[in-house]
Structure 1
Amino acid sequence: MARLMAFDFGTKRIGIAVTDPLQIIATALTTIHPKDVIDYLKEYLLTEQIETFIVGEPKQMDSTPSESARHVEAFINLLKKQFPTIPIDRMDERFTSKMASHTIANSGLKKSDREKKGLIDSVSAVIILQSYMEKRSFGF
């Protein structure tokens, strides 16, 4: 079985999370600069199979697209162009950064480790991926 891969897109950093091959556990993979993401994915796909990309979809409280939605759309189009055989799903990412910050604060990590900006992005990607897997398991 192939893995699922989720992205928390940002213009400065992209958090990436993956499942295990059985698609049971979501794990933070890395945080990477947007300009390096395609090369990273090409290298990753040489050794791992991805069933679906899941991209966090930024929305306002009223479910309309947020200001960063246009950047996410450009990223999705880039993924489609570079990896046309891998389907892409979207997952609402509202509150993931707050949930990630809360999780990190309660993790027991040293303060210097908790303040690493990329950590929030990778944990947010895990939350997006876990939410996607839960939604899928309920048949949505």
Structure 2
Amino acid sequence: MLLVPTVVLADETSQNPAQLEQSLNSFAKNNKEADFDSATVKGKTITLKVADDYIEAPVKNGGRRSFIHHLYKQVAKIQKQNGTKYSIVIKDNWTGTFAKMNYKGKGWYTLYGHSTETETEKCNFATLEDGDM
């Protein structure tokens, strides 16, 4: 009889959200290129906290999209290292939630402005393509 060792492959549901959160916060604290201040992980959602001045005046919509694209790339790299595929929410103290996307980068962001009605635009932050998601 031949005994073959079995290997149990971890899927994304068995990943430790605390480990992912620790990896994200370590990156934010120790990497001068980090575009976010801190991260929390609840369920399968990563919430990134950024400084208010990253996306406010004089940054307009093109700069906002570019900024979120860089955030996405940073988090995607860390998620790949941790074997996770979680959605991403980005917020600051002043605006609140201003972007949300799935793990592939497809989502929306709020347009620049402070009227009572917040306009949003869809975007694939992995590729910076516009359009329907």
With normalisation by structure 1, the TM-score equals: 0.28
- Choose between structure 1 and 2: higher helix proportion: 1
TM-score if structure 2 supplies the norm length?
0.29
Larger Rg, first or second structure (1 or 2)? 2
